[in-house]
Amino acid sequence: MPVEGPQLPVGTQVVLRVARPDSDGGTAQRGATGRVSGVTPDGRYLVHLVDGRDATAGRDQLSLRTAYQDEAVAVDQVDGDELVRKYTVYAAVVGSRAFGLATDSSDTDTRGVYVAPTEVFWSLAKPPMHVDGPDPEWFSWEVERFCELALKANPNLLEVLHSPLVVRQTPLGEELVELRQAFLSQLAYQTYSGYVLSQFKKLEADFRRDGAPKWKHVMHLIRLLLAARTLLAEGKLVVDVGQHRERLLAIKRGESGWPDVERWRLSLHEELDRALARTVLPATPDVGRVDAWLRSVRKRSIGDA
């Protein structure tokens, strides 16, 4: 009969999940450890136990040794969907609708921040640092992870705090928005321009191989450069690029030739270099201010569970 579950190569360390007859006419107890030594004609595994005996077992009667240990000390995991439903402090629409580039077929992508109750961190089962859901096209970060990534000038997270389409905001969420300037720094030059440069190299390979890149991705890369230019030049992040809507959508539709797009990209990179030289942004974000706020949030979240 076929072996159920992933095949276990010879030599894999396993643990018996149930007692099984052994080669000496006795019984190998549940929890006995050994290594897979082969597979019988009927699909069971031969296991050579550490004490020299042999036993056979089906795939569902065996666990990988590390997995067995994890199961033995497992505690109930925190429900991520419940955290998002009960403890979201801020959420906003991102993507094309926030960028001023929406069309009739555009999705509504929402990104949020939740604050897990402080007591949840006192358990062996830590809360998830991000949750996909529970609603479609809704993705959230736990506030600590959000702060870590935003301090590193991750464009996806910075845009959440600057979206004009806020859908949920509690008093803690208001504090987070008031803190958003503390996340902005010259690190944005590396994250924005570096990401675009690396992605364009891949797109150029697609263009040479297939004759066309993924034009929607190209559009959003140009959009990132436009946002970065404003950020470095004016010290503020403007998500809506509606003033460039027609030119950007023409790229998305594949109506702009690759040479024209490449010229625009290189021009924007040059503008970024000039903007960096005179930017009002600090060299690094205000980590101390963000950390102090996060500490206060943890203290105020005691008793919320």
Give the pairing of strands 138-142 and 109-114.
parallel
β-bridge partners, 14: 34, 64
Whose tokens are 């996909």? That residue is 132
Q: Could you report the per-residue pLDDT of 280-304, keeping only the tens digit for each?
A: 999 999 999 999 999 999 999 998 7
For position 53, what pLDDT does the model report? 93
Look at residue 70 and give its three-state secondary structure: helix
For position 21, what pLDDT does the model report? 92
Q: How far apart are CA 74 and CA 190, in angstroms?
A: 41
For position 6, what pLDDT does the model report? 60
- Read off the tokens for 247: 């030119």
pLDDT at residue 160 greater than cutoff 50: yes
Q: How far apart are CA 25 and CA 13, in angstroms?
A: 23
DSSP 8-state class, residue 2 = P
What domains, with CATH codes, occur in the chain? 13-72 (2.30.30), 80-184+285-300 (3.30.460), 187-277 (no CATH)
Residue pair 129/144 in contact (Cβ under 8 Å)? The answer is yes
Q: Could you report the per-residue pLDDT of 98-152, keeping only the tens digit for each?
A: 998 888 888 899 999 999 999 999 988 889 999 999 999 999 999 999 999 999 9
For position 3, what pLDDT does the model report? 39
Long-range contacts of 30-34 (CB under 8 A, 24+ apart): 31/68, 33/65
In this structure, of 36-45, 149-158, 178-187, 201-210, the range with the lowest mean pLDDT score is 201-210
- Read off the tokens for 158: 């910075």
For position 45, what pLDDT does the model report? 94
Q: Could you report the per-residue pLDDT of 9-58, keeping only the tens digit for each?
A: 999 999 999 999 998 889 999 999 999 999 998 889 999 999 999 999 99
For position 71, what pLDDT does the model report? 79
- Read off the tokens for 252: 């998305």
Could you tell me the maximum CA-CA distance found in the chain, to the nearest angstrom?
83
Instruction: Return phi, psi of residue 285, to 5°.
Output: -70, 170
For position 127, what pLDDT does the model report? 92
> Residue 2 — very low, low, confident or very high, per pLDDT cuts 50/70/90?
very low
> Residue 201 — very low, low, confident or very high, per pLDDT cuts 50/70/90?
confident
pTM, entire model? 0.78
Q: Of 156, 27, 57, 115, whose CA–CA distance to 298 is shortest?
A: 115
Q: How far apart are CA 79 and CA 128, in angstroms?
A: 8
Residue pair 121/197 in contact (Cβ under 8 Å)? The answer is no
- Read off the tokens for 259: 């040479």
Strand ranges in the chain using DSSP code E only, listed in sequence order:
13-16, 20-21, 27-28, 33-39, 45-49, 54-57, 62-64, 88-94, 109-114, 130-132, 138-142, 166-169
Q: Could you report the per-residue pLDDT of 57-86, keeping only the tens digit for each?
A: 999 899 888 888 777 777 778 888 999 999
Residue pair 93/42 in contact (Cβ under 8 Å)? The answer is no
Q: Could you report the per-residue pLDDT of 210-255, keeping only the tens digit for each?
A: 877 889 999 999 999 999 999 999 999 999 998 899 999 999 998 9
Instruction: Return phi, psi of residue 203, to 5°.
Output: -65, -35
